[in-house]
C-alpha cells in the first residue's frame, strides 16, 4: 500500500513530480477502467487519491480510505465524486480547471466546422460507396459566415469558442445565469440573450455550462421545439445537460438538423440509435485530450498531492 494511489495511468511528468518529492505511489495499470472493488482494495492506507473522471468516488469508496486527506480529480469536472460527503469527512477535493480551455475550445470549433460542412459524413462516403464526381447540388453543407452561434455557458471555454468562431464571421450570442461585463462582451463580440431567445435565433448551439441540479436536462423536448429545424447542436461539456432520448427524437423527426457529441448522458454508454444517424458526429470524450492539456493537468494533481505532504494548501479546492 502507498501514500498516493492513482486510479488511472497519468502523464509521466505527474509521476516524476511525485518521485522527485520522495512520495510513494501506486497506479492502476490494467486494461480498461478500474472497478469499484479494485479501488476499495487499494486505498486503505492512501492519503491522496488521484482520480480520473471515469472513477466514481462515492461514500463507500471514501469510507474505505480512513487516512484520506485529498481527492485530486484529473479533470475540470468533479461530478464523479461525492463532494459533500468528502467535505463532511474533512477531505479536500480538487480539480484541474483552466488548463483545458484551449483544447476544449479547439475541439468544439472543429466539431462546429465538421458538422456544418458534413466532413465526417463525407469521409464515411469515401470509405464506403465513393462518389461519381463533382456535381452542383451534391453533398451541400452550410457556410458559417453570417450565421448565429449560440453559446450556453460563457465561462473560459465559452469565451474561447466565441473568439475563435467570431474569426469565421459568425454572430455570437450567449446565455447564462449572469451577464458578462461590457468589456468582456466586447472582447468576445458577444451579445447576452435569454435562453429562449438563444434557442430561437441560433443556427448552431454549443454547450459550455457545468453540470449541476439546475443544468441537468437543460435541453430537453420543449427546448428542441424552440430551435430552428436547420439548427445544429454541439455538446463538449457534460452529457446529462442534454436529455438524450429527447435529442434522438428531435433528430429522428428532423426537428433539428444535426448534432455533435463528445460527452454522453450515461457515459461511457452511447445509445446505439445515435450511431445509426448520419447527421450526428460522435467523439469519445476527447475535449481536453491533447498532450499539452493533459501534461498541465498532471502537474496540477501531482503538485496538489505534494502539498498534502509538505503542509501546504492544495490549489483549486472545490469543497
Is residue 87 annotated as part of the catalytic site, yes or no? no
Tell me the C-alpha distance between 159 and 105, whole Å.
Answer: 9
Contacts of 103 (CB under 8 A, 6+ apart): 287, 288, 289, 290, 292, 293
Please state the separation of Cα 106 from the chain's center in Å: 12
Question: Which residues of the chain carry a pLDDT beneath 70?
Answer: 1
Is residue 285 annotated as part of the catalytic site, yes or no? yes
pTM of the model as a whole: 0.93
CATH class of 101-282: alpha beta
Nearest to 94 by CA among 311, 308, 309, 295: 308
Tell me the C-alpha distance between 250 and 15, whole Å.
Answer: 46
Q: What is the 3-state secondary structure (H, E, C) of 270-290?
A: CCHHHHCCCCEEECCCCCCCC
**pLDDT computed for residue 77 by the predictor:** 86
CATH topology of domain 4-99+291-309: Rossmann fold (3.40.50)
* Set 42, 164, 208, 238: catalytic member: 238
Using the 8-state DSSP alphabet, how is residue 187 labeled? H
* Set 26, 106, 197, 267: catalytic member: 267
Contacts of 11 (CB under 8 A, 6+ apart): 294, 295, 297, 298
Here the contacts of 265-268 (C-beta below 8 Å, separation 24 or greater) are 265/239, 265/240, 266/239, 267/54, 267/239, 268/54
**pLDDT computed for residue 1 by the predictor:** 66
Is residue 255 annotated as part of the catalytic site, yes or no? no
Dmax (CA) of the chain: 68
Angle, nearest 10°, between helix axes 291-309 and 101-116?
Answer: 150
Nearest to 221 by CA among 248, 191, 188, 184: 248
Decide: helix, strand or coil at residue 122. helix
Tell me: the pLDDT tens digits for 95-145?
Answer: 999 999 999 999 999 999 999 999 999 999 999 999 999 999 999 999 999
Q: CB of 50 within 8 A of CB of 29?
A: no
Q: Where is 192: in which H helix or E strand?
A: strand 190-192
Residue 155 phi/psi, 5° resolution?
-80, -155
* 212 preceded by a cis bond (ω within 30 of 0): no
> What residue segments make up the domains of the chain, in order of their start?
4-99+291-309, 101-282
Amino acid at each position: 500500500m502507498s501514500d498516493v494511489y492513482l486510479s488511472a495511468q497519468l502523464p509521466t511528468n505527474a509521476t516524476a513530480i511525485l518521485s522527485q518529492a520522495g512520495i510513494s505511489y501506486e497506479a492502476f495499470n490494467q486494461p480498461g477502467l478500474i472497478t469499484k472493488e479494485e479501488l476499495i482494495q487499494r486505498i486503505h492506507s492512501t492519503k491522496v487519491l488521484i482520480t480520473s473522471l471515469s472513477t466514481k468516488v462515492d461514500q463507500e469508496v471514501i469510507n474505505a480510505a480512513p487516512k484520506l486527506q485529498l481527492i485530486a480529480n484529473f479533470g475540470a469536472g468533479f461530478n464523479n465524486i461525492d463532494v459533500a460527503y468528502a467535505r463532511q469527512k474533512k477531505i479536500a477535493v480538487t480539480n484541474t480547471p483552466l488548463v483545458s480551455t484551449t483544447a476544449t475550445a479547439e475541439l468544439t470549433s472543429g466539431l462546429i466546422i465538421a458538422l456544418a460542412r458534413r466532413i465526417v459524413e463525407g469521409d464515411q462516403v469515401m470509405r464506403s460507396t465513393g462518389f461519381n464526381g463533382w456535381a452542383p447540388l451534391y453533398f451541400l453543407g452550410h457556410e458559417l459566415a453570417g450565421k448565429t452561434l449560440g453559446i450556453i455557458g460563457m465561462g473560459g471555454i465559452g469565451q474561447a469558442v466565441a473568439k475563435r468562431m467570431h474569426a469565421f464571421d459568425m454572430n455570437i450570442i450567449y446565455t447564462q445565469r449572469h451577464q458578462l461585463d461590457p468589456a468582456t462582451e466586447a472582447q468576445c463580440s458577444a451579445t447576452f440573450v435569454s435562453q429562449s431567445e438563444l434557442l430561437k435565433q441560433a443556427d448552431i448551439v454549443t454547450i459550455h455550462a457545468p453540470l449541476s441540479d439546475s443544468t441537468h436536462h437543460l435541453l430537453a423536448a420543449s427546448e428542441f421545439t424552440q430551435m430552428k429545424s436547420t439548427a445544429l447542436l454541439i455538446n463538449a461539456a457534460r452529457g446529462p445537460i442534454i436529455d438524450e432520448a429527447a435529442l434522438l427524437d428531435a433528430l429522428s423527426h428532423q426537428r433539428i438538423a444535426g448534432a455533435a457529441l463528445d460527452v454522453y448522458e450515461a457515459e461511457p454508454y452511447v445509445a446505439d440509435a445515435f450511431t445509426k444517424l448520419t447527421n450526428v458526429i460522435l467523439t469519445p470524450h476527447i475535449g481536453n485530450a491533447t498532450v499539452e492539456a493533459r501534461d498541465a493537468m498532471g502537474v496540477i494533481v501531482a503538485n496538489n498531492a505534494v502539498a498534502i505532504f509538505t503542509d501546504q494548501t492544495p490549489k483549486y479546492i472545490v469543497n
